[in-house]
Chain A
């Protein structure tokens, strides 16, 4: 099988850059949201539609990023 509809996009989420990567394999859309720098995966999801998969991954990523503490330098 071959992945189709591969896409990547970056957006800001709670002050941090998030990259959303999704593709379709078989009848399922897979999505992961990572923190761009360094690129660690924050959330992954799979759903029957791309929109649902991305929405779920972004929701989880948003929850994690909302907890990031910044310290004065």
Chain B
């Protein structure tokens, strides 16, 4: 982990096992499959449900400062707590939680490299006991708006080539062959991608065991699509969680200075009246 720009943002499964009982650490599981935690989880860890606890459930949006404050307080997380996030599928929704915590200025938040998958494969201890922590005082910082892209900024980037657009969905979603990941409900009126977008599927950043590739490997992967940190990058996917994983990779593992996550993503752009789209494979893939 030492060749990353911010290696302190990753911890190993062994590190988590060594710090499970550390009062200054809170291990939080965030799964796309919200039933996974109840099967068995890291002792002392809590779960955050991404649908109901990491989104505004009325107006489509991320958490407000007040909502995050209540969530952390109820989780026994204070501003000084080291939060270690992990989850299924290479930590994709754990990265979604990390992105929001960073927007509101949490200083020390990390991902457990390999996520739930690695913990299971290594046959580490699990429990079904759900811990209860006393409420803590949590004060979010004012939101860092430089970490998030909104529709006007994306439109401006397309119109004036202010940033590179990075679509991290599968090649079939990118081209428009399918409107949603296989087996999931279609939530868009159209298939395709934002004009000029490059395509690097989010999961190529991880090895088969769920851990992140080395910095050198990651640089090569993104450089093949012209993503090298020299220009601002706007990452997007379907609803913004795969792209938060890529956002983490570019910003914290590779140290790129200007990376935003467009969480409106394709479910926003692809359903808008009157905006242009493109279809077909990326130029690099077609070459």
* CB-defined contacts of B203 to chain A, threshold 8 Å: 37-39
Distance between Cα atoms of A23 and B118 in the complex (Å): 13
Docked CA distance A40–B178 (Å): 15
User: Contact flags (1/0) for B198-229 with A, using CB distance below 8 Å?
Assistant: 00011100000000000000000000000000
Q: State whether the Cβ of B66 lies closer than 8 Å to any Cβ in chain A.
A: no
Tell me the bound Cα distance from A68 to B185 in angstroms.
Answer: 9
Residue in A closest to B40 when the chains form the complex, CB atoms: A25
B interface, over-half SS? loop
A1 to B184, CA, bound (A): 33
Contact of A3 among B126, B183, B242 (CB under 8 A): B126
Cβ contact of B125, chosen from A1, A6, A32, cutoff 8 A: A1
Check A69 against B127 for contact (C-beta < 8 Å).
no
How many of chain B's residues have a CB under 8 angstroms from any CB in A? 39
B32 adjacent to A2 (CB under 8 Å): no
Q: A1, B127: Cβ atoms under 8 Å?
A: yes
Contact between A65 and B178, CB atoms less than 8 A apart: no
Docked complex Cα distance between A63 and B175 (Å): 24
Which positions 6-43 of chain B face chain A at CB distance < 8 Å? 32-33, 35-36, 39-40
| Contact residues of A between 25 and 49, Cβ < 8 Å to B | 25, 30, 32, 34-35, 37-42, 44, 46
Q: Which of A25, A42, A69 contacts B178 (CB 8 A)?
A: A69
Decide if A25 touches B39 in the complex (CB within 8 Å): yes
A71 and B201 contacting across the interface, CB-CB below 8 Å: no
Query: In the bound complex, what is the Cα–Cα distance between A63 and B88 (angstroms)?
Result: 23
The answer on a CB contact under 8 Å between B179 and A71 is: yes
Distance A44 CA – B117 CA, assembled complex (angstroms): 15
Bound Cα distance from A72 to B181, whole angstroms? 16
**Which among B35, B92, B186 is the interface contact of A38 at CB below 8 angstroms?**
B92
Between-chain CB contacts (< 8 Å), 17 pairs: A1-B40, A2-B126, A37-B181, A37-B201, A38-B181, A38-B242, A39-B89, A39-B90, A39-B203, A40-B89, A41-B32, A41-B88, A41-B89, A44-B35, A46-B39, A71-B191, A73-B177
Residues of B with Cβ closer than 8 Å to A?
32-33, 35-36, 39-40, 88-90, 92, 117, 120-121, 123-127, 169-170, 172, 175-179, 181-184, 186, 191, 201-203, 242, 279-281
Given contacts A21-B117, A41-B33, 5 further A-B pairs with CB under 8 A are A16-B183, A23-B120, A69-B178, A70-B172, A71-B191
